[in-house]
Amino acid sequence: MSESSFAKRQSRLARRAGTPPPRMDFAALARRAVAFFRRPPVAVASAGLLVLLSAGLFVAVLGDPRAGLPSARVDLKREAAVERVPTGMEAFTVGADAAWLDLGADPDALGTEAVITLPDGASVSGSGEGITAPRLAATSPLPRAPIEGLSRPGPAGPLPVISADGRTPAEAYARPFRANGKPRVALIVGGLGLNATTTRAAIERLPPEITLSFVPYADDLQAWIDLARAHGHEVMIEIPMEPTGYPDNDPGPYTLLADGGPDDVASKLPWLLGRATGYFGVTNYLGDRFMTSDAAFGSMLGTLRTHGLAFIDDGQARRRPGAWSRASADRVIDETQTPVAIMGQLNAVEAMAKQRGDALGTGFSYPVTVEAVARWAAGLEARGLQLAPASAMTRRPGR
């Protein structure tokens, strides 16, 4: 930059610096402010702000005007996030070569974090989500009930009887079975008849060798039993028995009571047995207290024996003889309703069968149970086991 240019610029800056600032026209500003606040939206907003500022000033100077009124304080806590139950794709994925891990050794150690997956992409959930195991064609139907000579009229419906030629309902209504020399595993899925969706899923998606157990209070019970037998399933009726905590824990109006003795059994059992035909035996629903009564429990077993019926319990009455034929379950597979826990119990049933030749499990018709059992049963033969109906596990007293 030349000296002349620098001098001119410096001269301009000096003149500007020496110029006094323009005078403020306060009257014009006041007129503009009045015009601005006269606008309707601005006036309303300004009035509201003035009210809020006045109230705040009032509280700050004089205190809370509601200080003398009753008040309550509630501590609000954010609910902890509920751990999502894994779907089948997440719960069943370890690859085709390890689809079934050997978790039976310590089923109590299983948690919901473990991951087991089937290569076919099963959808298993403990939260009641849909069942995706494929439907099975009804290829081995059982004879339609009632079979002639195996029932007589009762006070509430047909009662099972031993026929004149010695046939029993325990034999005639059981699914035929022929052992092939492999270790045998059997399963009973119960609680059926109350929920139409899960009942139909158990009938249509479980292999026919799985035994199905129905609640006597179910509507259209005979229709459900007929459908189950048409798909090849042998069936049982659940007998409600007094549990600990009764009557707060109440299995229904026809519950057999521990203190009722033979008279209570004689008055209620005919109604329970007369609800339908076509079942080969009965099982208990609850009943830990009832089973401690020798008089009541013994009377029930004696009645079942005269009717030619089998009795299979969930493991609570092990080594208690009676009925025409008997068995006790070795495992309840779904006391914990997660895919991993159920698979652990099913693997334990397998291990027991391989060790001693046979094993019997029982479970409830939770969607997760039906799904897991359907997937588990499909691979039994490849794992060197034979799936058997529960009737094949029963034994006659003294045999």
Burial 137-166 (b: 16+ CB within 10 A, else e): eeeeebeebbbeebbeeeeebbbbbbbeee
The span from the CA of 206 to the CA of 373, in Å, is 7
Domain boundaries, the chain: 24-63, 88-393
Report which residue type is found at 231.
H
Structure tokens at 339: 């895919």
Structure tokens at 123: 């959808």
Supply the pLDDT for residue 37. 56
Supply the pLDDT for residue 17. 42
Q: Which CATH architecture has domain 88-393?
A: Alpha-Beta Barrel (3.20)
Please report the DSSP string for 227-248 in residue order.
HHHHTT--EEEEEEEPPTTTTT
Instruction: Count Cβ atoms below 10 Å from residue 246 Cβ, excluding itself.
Output: 17
Collapse the DSSP code of 297 into the 3-class scheme (helix H, G, I; strand E, B; otherwise coil) and give the result: helix
Whether 276 contacts 262, CB under 8 Å: no
Supply the pLDDT for residue 41. 61
Q: Residue 366 contacts by C-beta under 8 Å, 6 or more apart in sequence?
A: 126, 128, 198, 334, 337
pTM as predicted? 0.71
Q: Residue 363 contacts by C-beta under 8 Å, 6 or more apart in sequence?
A: 187, 188, 189, 190, 332, 333, 334, 342, 369, 373
Q: What is the pLDDT of residues 236-255, one digit of tens each?
A: 999 999 999 999 999 999 99
Supply the pLDDT for residue 101. 35
Q: Give the mean pLDDT of the chain.
A: 79
Whether 354 contacts 373, CB under 8 Å: no
Supply the pLDDT for residue 5. 47
Supply the pLDDT for residue 33. 60
Supply the pLDDT for residue 109. 34
Name residues of the chain where pLDDT drops below 50.
1-21, 59, 61, 65-72, 74-128
By the 10 Å C-beta count (0-12 exposed, 13-18 middle, 19+ buried), 395 is classed as exposed
